Each structure stands twice: as structure tokens, then as C-alpha cells.
Structure 1
Amino acid sequence: MLVMLSSPHMHGGDSLRMMMLTVILALLPAAAVSVYLFGWLAVLLILVCMLSCLATEAVCLKLMGKSLTTLLDNSAALTGLLLALTLPALTPWWMAVVGSIFAIVLGKQVYGGLGYNIFNPALSARVILLISFPLQMTTWIIPMSAATPVVNLYDLSTCLTLFFAGPDALKLGLDAISMASPLGHVKTEWTLGVPVADALAHYHYSYLGAFLGTEAGSIGETSVLALLIGGVFLMARHSITWHIPFSYLATVAVLAALFSGIDPDHFAPPMFHLFAGGLMLCAFFMATDPVSSPVTPTGQIVFGIGCGVLTWSIRSFGGYPEGAMFSVLLMNCAVPLIDHYFRPRVYGHESGRKS
């Protein structure tokens, strides 16, 4: 007797839990660099965000009468890690907790849980925190890679005081322990009439330093090298494809090259844009979120181009120096439209439409 079984007939061995674990592993190089640059502050921030996301997820599951075994899928832990890597090292503990609650409740569970959210939960929380607490979210502590760091971030007691009580508890002013990010410095100097090249020279900016990760910024976005290692790992594991990262980065580079060639005093060169801010983190880890990005290769390329245009435009013309995270969230809104117009063609039906 021949028994016909429904598809799928094979299982590739992958699971949601393994997919999430793969992304966490890909983020470990960036997390390691963050610990090197910001010491125990980075460790505390990562731990609080991950634990807060797990606790919030548990409460939500309990209130909805669902099994707590869902916590084992690693999605909440990944959201916490991603959120932490987008935050400044001086983010106080209560903001990390509030951001984690926002990420799980408003970025994920309010839509029905994992697989139904239209925005990346970590990015959503990061933008909410930026809008709500602009001063804290744009204060960058001097990293340990600086020649003369004011505070020893490798000292646990000092970092515990900074994290839970703030700089005032150490009788330190923000001006003494903080510095501008490269993007913020260039934006501020340009508004004062200083050309881009002069602004970078005053900052003592180095492309090598930006590539390795020795500049100021959010704890997980400073090292291009670490993020590239993680991105290549994800592509080698087939967790993501090249379509979104390549189209995103290429669009930013092309626009920067064109406009910096026309007016180099106003527009920053391509290498600066590629190495600055959260572009690499967004290109490989945020924009490629399978839930909130297009499903077809063509749609993913369109999505990446849109992210690139918005990122460069916000950085060049907007009031805020960074545009990568805003661009991904804005393009998330367009995903249903992109999927509608770039859906795969159905075999045997003209234009992919059923007769």
C-alpha cells in the first residue's frame, strides 16, 4: 500500500532556537569589542537588557496563559543583546530596563508575538528611548582606547557606581568623561561653517580606528571589523543573504561618493559614512530581520536601497546626525507594499495572478 505524505518531506535540521542562537553568536565579536572599549559598563548593560527582556517576556507569556517554554527560543535574549549594543555605555540601569520592556511589549507582544511584529523590536525600543531621553541617548563616554581615559572602566566598583548612580555620584561632570561621536562632531562643526575635512582633522579621526572600533558611539556599533565578521558568519550559515546588506551599503556609498565629489566641504566621503554610526549593525543585523523585511530577493534589494537613501539623506540634511536606525524602521512600514509589487510569479499564470 502506497502512503502519500504531505510536504515538506525533509527537515533541514534548523530551528527557530538555532537561528536565534546563530545571530547571538554572530554578535559576540561586537560584544567583545564593546567590553574592551567600555569595560564593565558594557557587561552590565548587556546583562540588564537581556535579563529584562527575558523577564518581560515571561510576564507577558504568563498573562496570556502561554507556556514559558517559549523563552527557550532565544528570541527575547537576542532582542536584549541587540538593544544593549545600540545604547551608549553611560545609559543608566533604569533606562535599560524601560527600553527592554518597550522592546518586548510594544515591539513584539502587542502584535501577537514573534513572527507578527512589523518593526524590529530592539530598534523600536531604541528609537523610543532616543525620543524620550535625548540627552542620555546622545552622551558618549570616552572609551578605554583613548590615550588618557578619565575613568577606569575596567574597575568594577567604579562602573557599578556609574551604572546605578550616575556620574554625579563620582563627582564627575558629563563634560569630563564624555566626547562627541564622529557623526555628531561633523554635523555640529558643519553647522558652524567648518568643512568636513577640517572637522575630521580637529576630531583626530582615523579610518583605521573607526574600522577597528576605537571611536565613541553606542557600545556595539563602533567596530566595523567585528560587525563584518558577524555578518559574514551569518551569510556563511545562510541565516541571511547578501541582498539587503549589499544594496544598503552600496547605496550609501554611491550617494556619498556622488555628493562629496560635488561639494566635499559639505558632504562626507563614502568611507566615513560606511564606518560611522550604526550603519553596519543595521545592515547586517537589523534590516535583515526575516520577520520585518521583504521575502523576495528583488524586494530585499529595493528595501536595502530605500534604507540606504534614507540613511544618507537623514545624515546629510536632517537635524539628527544618525539615520540608520530611523531608515530601517521607516522601510519596515513599506514592506507590505514591497512584497505586493515584488511577489514571486506564480508558475502558469501571467503576471503572477490567478486566473
Structure 2
Amino acid sequence: MFKMKSSPHTHSGKRTAHIMLWVIVAMLPAIAGQIYYFGFGVLIQSCLAICFALLLELIVTILRKKPIYFYIGDFSIVLTALILAVAIPSYSPYWVILIGTFCAVILGKHVYGGLGQNLFNPAMVGYVILLISFPLQMTTWLPPIRLLNEPPTFYDSYSLIFNGFTSDGFSLHQLTSAIDGITQATPLDAVKTHIKSGIEHISQLNSSPIFQSFLSDNIDQISLGLGWAQINILFLVGGLFLLWKKIIHWHIPVALLTTMFTISTIHFFFSDTVPQPLWQLFSGSTMFAAFFIATDPVTASITPRGKLIFGAIVGALICLIRFKGGYPDGTAFAILLANICVPLIDHYTRPIINGHQKREIK
């Protein structure tokens, strides 16, 4: 009997550990941007997630009697924990990131057999479970700290995560209550809420301090979200670095962003209450999803045409959820739904082997 192994079988010459480390390095500028605009919460959440993920990985490898260094040394679990920590609100309670990390490592990865066997992106599995189970904690975001009267220090950030209050006794809600027009929500949340309330034109939101003129001075359109646009640009820079290093391929990011831009443009011309297409590309987790999440080599399509189809599906689902769904962003749901389609996509987009004629795939 031959022992079956997961595809692909051709060795590219790149070690898994090196690939994961390059992806982590590419994320560092955006993480630094998060710290600059939103405080030290993401740093504390990242440390919690990585330490707990490594502990879980160690326990599982011992229980499965696998070589410990081989499984921990590929840094895949570190990347999974880091993606989850970046995705959740920076000042959510410590137990939120611990539960999410457990779900990502155990339910998203090891129940399928470990790295290379999982059908769904582990970090997105953990994120969706948290979003459905703890909607209040997962939608409580701190505005950019430059808008706060008392920006939280590192100790305040630590205290908010573990105790729910700063050293001066302020909660997240109290930190933002003194700012007129600020809610504990992202720009995408603000847009969706105001659209449901029946605003006549999207430019009415420009009075909120969480929006600023960044790439355009056109007052007739909504400005980009302070902090969120800059972080998206930093993820874009990191993604271009990964393309330059040939860690990822261009197919999925290009297909995802092109699809989102096209659908957003069509939607924009038929409504006065939706932001312009460029705003959609630099809001929420768009660039993060395009270059760092959807390009996961295990759960994404592996054929060139399949990658284009996969990226287009993710982009279309993100737009559908943003415009018609109950969630403001929907990136995690879009990627998980697209992951389900990957076996079918790969089946019907298999390239023709040189020397063989095209035949019908049954």
C-alpha cells in the first residue's frame, strides 16, 4: 500500500518556514501602523495569540506523537495567530483572543490533520466563531487615538484588555464619549448604520471626525476613514513586497480587487448613499484580505485560472455582504464560502499536460 500525501507533489525549493516568515515580515508595517493610529492593543493581542497558539500546537503534536520542532518550526501557527490578532478589535477582552486562537488552531487546522489538510482558512474560522458568538466584543473598536482626549498608554492598553478599564478607571465607551460624533465602530459600520437610517447623500457623513480627506478634496464624496485607509495602504505595500519576493501570485489579489472595484462602480452609479469605489478598496480589511488571507496556499485554488475565479468569488461576496448583508465588511465569511468552492474550481480548471489533447473532465 502506498501512503497518500496531500498535493501538490512538486517541490518549489521554498521551505514553509521561510514563506511564513516573509509573510510575517510583510505584515509588520501594517501592524506598526495599527499601533500608531490605534494604540498598543494589537501588540498585546498578538503576543497573547502567538503564545497560546504555540502552546496548543505543542500539546497537539505531543498527543499525536509527531516531531515537535518540525511542526512548530514552520511558523505557520505563528502566522495564523498573528492574522487573527490583527483582525479582531485591538482592545477586546483577553479571553476573546484566547477562544479565537483555540478555535483557529484546533477546529480550523488540526481536526483536518494539520497544515496542508485543512479546507478552511484557520484564522478566519476563529474569527467567524468569535463574531457570531460575541458580537458586542467583536464590534467594539476604539477610534484613532489622536481623536481621544487621553490616548491610552501601554499600561492602559494592558489594563483595558485584562480588566476592561484603564489605570484611571475609564472604559472603552467612556474614552470615546467625550468626542462628538464618535461611536465605537469602524468607518464601514458608520456608513452602513447611516444608510439604514435614511441619509439623502453619502457626503453627509463627512462631518464625522473619523473621516478625513486623504486622496481627494472632493467634498461631494465621503472621505476615507482616518487610520483605516493608511493601514490598508501599508497592507498593499506589504502585499506588493510578497509579489516581488514571489511568495504569492498576482492572480488572487488582482481578481479580488478588480471584481470589488467593478461591482462597487456599478453600485455607486445607481445610488447616492454609497461611497465611491476607491473608498471600498481602502476601507475595512480589503487589502489585508487580498494579499494576506485569500492567498493562503492551502485553502485557495492552486491552478492559474482557478486563482482568478477564486479571487473573483471572494471579491463579489465581500461586495454582496457589504451592500446587502447584515455585517459591515464580511471578509471572513466571503473567504470561508469561497474555500468551499476550491475543490470544484480546481477540478474544472486543471491545466492540460503538454503532449495531451484536451478532454472532457467528468
Shift of 1:43: 1.5
Name the residue aligned to 1:206. 212
Preserved contact between residue 161 and residue 170 of structure 1 (Cα < 8 Å): no
Shift of 1:224: 1.6
Name the residue aligned to 1:6. none
Shift of 1:76: 0.9
How many angstroms apart in 2 are the aligned matches of 1:242 and 1:198? 34
- Alignment of 1:184 onto 2:189: yes
Q: Deviations over 1:211-257 (max 9, x none)?
A: 998336xxxx8612210111011000111111100110111111111
What SS is found at the alignment partner of 1:128?
Answer: helix
Shift of 1:354: 9.1
Name the residue aligned to 1:141. 142
Name the residue aligned to 2:85. 84
How many angstroms apart in 1 are the aligned matches of 2:360 and 2:250? 28
Q: From 132, 155, 166, give the equivalent of 1:157.
A: 155
Which residue identity lines up with residue 223 of structure 1 in the other structure? Answer: I
Name the residue aligned to 1:167. 165
Number of residue-to-residue matches in the alignment: 338
Which residue identity lines up with residue 127 of structure 1 in the other structure? Answer: V
How many angstroms apart in 2 are the aligned matches of 1:77 and 1:292? 17
Please, what is the CA RMSD of the aligned residues?
2.4
Name the residue aligned to 2:181. none
How many angstroms apart in 2 are the aligned matches of 1:275 and 1:211? 11
Name the residue aligned to 2:67. 67
How many angstroms apart in 2 are the aligned matches of 1:167 and 1:196? 38
Q: Deviations over 1:187-228 (max 9, x none)?
A: 000111014523431324225289998336xxxx86122101
Which residue identity lines up with residue 243 of structure 1 in the other structure? Answer: H
What SS is found at the alignment partner of 1:127?
Answer: helix
Name the residue aligned to 1:4. none
Q: Deviations over 1:32-90 (max 9, x none)?
A: 11221233322211100111111111111111111111211111111111111101111
Preserved contact between residue 213 and residue 224 of structure 1 (Cα < 8 Å): no
> Judging changes above 3 Å, is the alpha-carbon distance between structure 1 residues 262 and 354 closer, same or farther for their aligned structure 2 residues?
closer
How many angstroms apart in 2 are the aligned matches of 1:246 and 1:64? 39
> Judging changes above 3 Å, is the alpha-carbon distance between structure 1 residues 305 and 175 closer, same or farther for their aligned structure 2 residues?
same
Which residue identity lines up with residue 197 of structure 1 in the other structure? Answer: I
Preserved contact between residue 159 and residue 166 of structure 2 (Cα < 8 Å): no
How many angstroms apart in 1 are the aligned matches of 2:356 and 2:245? 34
What SS is found at the alignment partner of 1:73?
Answer: coil
Which residue identity lines up with residue 260 of structure 2 in the other structure? Answer: V
Which residue identity lines up with residue 116 of structure 1 in the other structure? Answer: Q
Shift of 1:259: 1.6
Return the TM-score normalized by structure 2.
Answer: 0.87
- Alignment of 1:234 onto 2:218: no
How many angstroms apart in 2 are the aligned matches of 1:213 and 1:194? 18
Name the residue aligned to 1:243. 251
How many angstroms apart in 1 are the aligned matches of 2:268 and 2:224? 24
Which has the higher mean CA deviation after the structures are superposed, 195-204 or 37-46?
A: 195-204
Shift of 1:290: 0.6
Q: Deviations over 1:122-170 (max 9, x none)?
A: 1110111000100000001122232xx14432x2322221111113875
Name the residue aligned to 2:335. 328
Name the residue aligned to 2:305. 298
How many angstroms apart in 1 are the aligned matches of 2:187 and 2:225? 12
Name the residue aligned to 2:36. 36
Which residue identity lines up with residue 145 of structure 2 in the other structure? Answer: M
Shift of 1:351: 2.5
**% identical aligned pairs:** 38
How many angstroms apart in 2 are the aligned matches of 1:199 and 1:180? 17
Name the residue aligned to 1:7. none
Which has the higher mean CA deviation after the structures are superposed, 32-41 or 300-309?
A: 32-41
- Alignment of 1:262 onto 2:270: yes
Q: From 232, 235, 241, give the equivalent of 1:224.
A: 232
Name the residue aligned to 2:96. 95
Name the residue aligned to 1:112. 113
- Alignment of 1:27 onto 2:27: yes
- Alignment of 1:197 onto 2:202: yes
> Judging changes above 3 Å, is the alpha-carbon distance between structure 1 residues 157 and 13 closer, same or farther for their aligned structure 2 residues?
same
Return the TM-score normalized by structure 1.
Answer: 0.89
> Judging changes above 3 Å, is the alpha-carbon distance between structure 1 residues 19 and 175 closer, same or farther for their aligned structure 2 residues?
same
What SS is found at the alignment partner of 1:145?
Answer: helix
Q: Which runs of 5+ in 2 are unaligned?
A: 1-9, 177-183, 216-221
> Judging changes above 3 Å, is the alpha-carbon distance between structure 1 residues 195 and 56 closer, same or farther for their aligned structure 2 residues?
farther
Name the residue aligned to 1:5. none
Shift of 1:287: 0.5
Which residue identity lines up with residue 206 of structure 1 in the other structure? Answer: Q
Preserved contact between residue 45 and residue 90 of structure 2 (Cα < 8 Å): yes
Shift of 1:315: 0.3
